[in-house]
């Protein structure tokens, strides 16, 4: 009996801050892998999502937001250089948000000769869809993209079309990860990301940028997870924000974090969260 052909490829999600990269990753994975937030630069690491569909295995790399900062752009370029044998780059922008930063960055990564699919996100907010075509035509003249696909990462519009074209970019190759893998990030990393998302959700603009979240203890007893985690901040006034009046904020953070960790791992979670 002949072996079934299998396909594999890494796909790097790139774009300026707050263009919807993390939302796209979660939509492609049908699972919350990367945190999403209204706040810029909420993705601080290169988060990997792994999805296996019978013959095809996709490995998505969600990079930190590329802002108007040469150092930040260099970080993204180093990731692309390291993964230069990747199948495709998914470059995200928003409707009417193309600028010189996009043009400059794309010219710099052109030398790696990696196919680039341009994704124009948030088309659910475009009232006159007939305006999309001339906009796409104008951008097409700026750069030789493999494909240009208008999408809504939030609603899922055209995500099936994107998945179709991504599948065509994969290499004929054996799969790198077992089919049950959904991320190469550790369980502890995912827990800290979930807690961090809840701090972003509840505190919004009050959240200090220097906040750190650490898991001090992680134990599995009778198939239940017992987690001790710390939200660490440098100033006393910030600690008061996290604790809240009569301890209401830390209670909200603990409850919401526990529920979301349970949803992610489908395990009974005992979370002990404190402020330092």
**DSSP secondary structure string for all residues of 7-55:** EEEEEEEEEBTTSSHHHHHHHHHTS--S---SSTT---S-EEEEEEETT
How much is the pLDDT for 68? 60
Question: Residues 166, 193: one domain?
Answer: no
Residue among 80, 87, 84 nearest 9 (CA):
87
Question: Residues 143, 70: one domain?
Answer: yes
Residue 1 belongs to a domain: no
* CATH at residue 117: 3.40.50.300
Residue 35 belongs to a domain: yes
- The total number of structural domains in the chain stands at 2
- Are the CB atoms for 59 and 50 separated by under 8 Å? yes
User: Using 50, 70 and 90 to split pLDDT, how confident is the model at 182?
Assistant: confident
Question: 172, 202, 220: which is the final residue of a domain?
Answer: 172
Residue 2 belongs to a domain: no
- Are the CB atoms for 215 and 229 separated by under 8 Å? yes
Residue among 129, 133, 80, 73 nearest 104 (CA):
73
Q: Helices 100-109 and 70-82: crossing angle, nearest 10°?
A: 30
Of 97-101, 202-206, 258-262, which gets the smallest average pLDDT?
202-206
Question: Residues 159, 211: one domain?
Answer: no
Question: 144, 172, 200: which is the final residue of a domain?
Answer: 172
Residue 241 tokens, joined: 């924000």
The boundaries of the domain holding residue 259 are: 187-275
Residue 244 belongs to a domain: yes
Question: Residues 105, 220: one domain?
Answer: no
Residue 67 has pLDDT above 70, yes or no: no
Of 15-24, 114-123, 159-168, which gets the smallest average pLDDT?
15-24
* CATH at residue 248: 3.30.300.20
How much is the pLDDT for 152? 96
How much is the pLDDT for 251? 93
201-230 residue pLDDT tens: 888 777 766 778 888 888 888 888 899 999
- Are the CB atoms for 208 and 233 separated by under 8 Å? yes
Question: Residues 35, 158: one domain?
Answer: yes
Residue 178 belongs to a domain: no
Question: Residues 245, 166: one domain?
Answer: no
Query: What's the number of CA atoms in the CB half-sphere (13 Å) around residue 10?
Result: 21
Residue among 173, 181, 180, 176 nearest 4 (CA):
173
Residue 49 belongs to a domain: yes
Question: What percent of the chain is predicted at pLDDT more than 90?
Answer: 38
Residue among 14, 112, 117 nearest 72 (CA):
14
Q: Hunting for tokens 């830390």 — which residue is that?
A: 250
Question: Residues 47, 161: one domain?
Answer: yes
Question: Residues 122, 206: one domain?
Answer: no
Question: 141, 172, 203: which is the final residue of a domain?
Answer: 172
Question: Residues 93, 163: one domain?
Answer: yes
How much is the pLDDT for 38? 46
CA 124 – CA 140 distance, rounded (Å)? 21
Residue 70 has pLDDT above 80, yes or no: no
Residue 181 belongs to a domain: no
Question: Residues 165, 44: one domain?
Answer: yes
């Amino acid at each position: 009996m002949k072996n079934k052909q299998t396909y594999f490829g890494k796909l790097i999600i790139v774009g300026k801050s707050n263009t919807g990269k993390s939302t796209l990753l979660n939509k492609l994975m049908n699972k919350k892998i990367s945190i999403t937030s209204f706040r810029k630069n909420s993705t601080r690491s290169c988060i990997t999502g792994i999805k296996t569909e019978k013959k095809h295995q996709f490995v998505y790399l969600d990079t930190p937001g590329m802002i108007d900062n040469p150092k930040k752009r260099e970080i993204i370029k180093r990731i692309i250089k390291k993964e230069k044998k990747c199948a495709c780059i998914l470059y995200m922008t928003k409707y009417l948000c193309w600028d010189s930063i996009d043009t400059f960055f794309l010219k710099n990564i052109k030398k790696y000769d990696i196919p680039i699919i341009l994704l124009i996100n948030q088309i659910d907010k475009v009232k006159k869809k007939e305006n999309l075509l001339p906009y796409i035509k104008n951008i097409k003249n700026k750069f030789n993209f493999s494909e240009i696909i208008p999408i809504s990462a939030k609603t899922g519009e055209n995500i099936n079309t994107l998945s179709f074209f991504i599948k065509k970019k994969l290499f004929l190759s054996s799969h790198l990860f077992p089919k049950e893998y959904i991320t190469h990030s550790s369980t502890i990393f995912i827990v800290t990301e979930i807690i961090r998302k809840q701090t972003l959700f509840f505190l919004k603009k009050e959240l200090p940028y220097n906040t750190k979240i650490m898991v001090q203890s992680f134990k599995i007893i009778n198939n239940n997870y017992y987690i001790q985690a710390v939200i660490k901040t440098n100033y006393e006034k910030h600690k008061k924000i996290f604790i809240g009046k009569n301890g209401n904020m830390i209670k909200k953070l603990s409850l919401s974090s526990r529920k979301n960790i349970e949803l992610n791992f489908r395990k009974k979670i005992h979370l002990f969260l404190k402020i330092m």
